[in-house]
Structures are given as C-alpha cells and as structure tokens.
Amino acid sequence: MIKCIATDMDGTLLNSVQQISAANREAILKAQSQGIEVVVATGRSYQEATYVLGEAGLTCPVICVNGAEVRSKEGEVLSATSIGKDLAREVAARLTGKEVYFEVYTNEGAYTVDPDKAVSILVDIVMSANPEVNRDEIIEAAGARIRDGLIHTIEDYELLFANEEYQIYKLLAFSFDRVKLEAANQALAGLTELAIASSGHENIEITHRDAQKGIALEWFVSAKGITLAETMAIGDNYNDVSMLKKAGRSVAMGNAGYEIKSLCDVITDTNEENGVAKAILEVI
C-alpha cells in the first residue's frame, strides 16, 4: 500500500505554462483526504515551489533545492544541507572561469546577477520537458520569477558568501553553449563533496553530495514512520533519478527521456496529459 507520494514539479506536476492542472490538483487532494503524504520534490527554491502550489490552492511538504532543504506543509525547515562557503566560492570561481552564468540558491531564496538570464534558465527547463509548446508563452510565464520577486537580484554573489545569515544550498549553472557547459562540468569533477545533476538540456545543478532528492525523501518518509517500499516517486529528469531509484514504486512521465523511463517501474502520461493524476489514481 502506498503511504507517501513524491512528485517532481517541472515537466512532471506542472504543465508547459508552469501550472498545476485541475486533474492533478484533484488527485492530490484525494490522496491527502485518504491520509497519504504527498510531498513535492523539486529543484526550485521553497519560495518558487510554494508560489505555484498556492496558485492551485494546495498545501504540501516540500523537498526543495534538489533535497538541500525539507520543509513541512506549514513551512517549517525540517532539514537543511548546505554547501560550505569556501567550497561555494570555489564552485563560483570555476564557473566564472568557464564563462558560464549561474544562480545561487540559499535559505532565503534564489539570487541572480542577471535578471534576463534568470528567465532564460527557467524557459530552458520548461522547454526541455515541453519542446512542442510555444516559446513565447513559456517566456511570459517564466517572467513571473522576476515580476513576482521569486528570484532576487544581487550585485555580487560574494555578498551571500560573506554573510553568515545565508546558507548556500545550490548553484544552478546555465549556458546555451554546450562546449562551455561541458567544460564547466569537467571543471567541477574533482570536487567530491558535490552532487552534479541536471533538470534541462542547458543547465547543471550543483548541491552538496548529501543534498539529493532520494536522500531527502528517505529521511522524510522515515521521519513519518513510512518505508520506502510504501513510497511512490514520480519524475521526468536526471535530478529525479536518486528518488526514483529509492522508491518502492517509481513512475516516469510520458515526456521523460529513454534513460529515465528505463529505470522506472511504470510509465504514465505526459505532464500535458495529467500524468501525475493518472499515476496517483492508479494507487489509491
């Protein structure tokens, strides 16, 4: 019996315009009404994740920033795994040396030094999952990152690294130049304290090696007295792999790539076809 359902957001729970469909919303509410824990597991910051959940009228616990932070449905921080400040500086220096743009995710939200690229990075994530959708529509929806203050603009990331009030959860690097992105990947390869993942064709996500969705999900269900065998995970991309491998029932979205589908127990419909709702209704 499934007692916990963990779902990714972009390319999974969200459609191409970054909204939760009515069908997905109703399926989540039905699962919650039956006492099933539904937890969102996302690379987004807590602020960006709850913005979308709030639009749909949903309240859920959130595994955010790829597992760097776990919050209760009330917003209480239950667990946090940050990158050390000196290591974060080193990552930043190596990315800058390869001329790759990046954002910094902290306990106080996400920060950028270039607001235009902050929109582009989310467009890439969405387009990777929905290549057939009108790009202008996605750009308009992604603009909410800036319009609604979901990502903050800062002059220099050193202001975050030097301030003890900020914990560094993730650096999200982005480039349309595959050569530069691969060079950045290689430059980070020797930093063994890090986990490197991806949520789009043109990005790499850098967290502490213990800040992964699978590790956070295992911690979350254990705290709830639930086993991984009683847990279902739903995802579409490489930053979902750690939780898909750990869950007793793993579900790949119809829009996921072959490698993701090949490691899952079940393949559901696409994110445009309410695949999350279908996956949930099959187990409750």
Catalytic residues: 8
Percentages helix, strand, coil for the chain (3-state, rounded to 5) are 45, 20, 35
φ, ψ for residue 233, nearest 5 deg: -120, 140
Of 62, 65, 58, 66, whose CA–CA distance to 78 is shortest? Answer: 62
Helix (H, G, I), strand (E, B) or coil at 257: coil
Q: Which of 155, 164, 157 is nearest to 84 (CA)?
A: 164
- Listed residue (58, 63, 5) closest to 283, CA to CA: 5
Between the two ends of the chain, the Cα-to-Cα distance in Å is 8
Q: Tell me which residue of 54, 52, 70, 74 sits closest to 62, measured CA to CA.
A: 70
Which run of H or E residues covers position 266?
Answer: strand 266-267
SS3 236: coil
CB-neighbour burial class of residue 215 (10 A; exposed 0-12, middle 13-18, buried 19+): buried
**How far apart, in whole angstroms, are the C-alpha atoms of residue 217 and residue 182?**
29
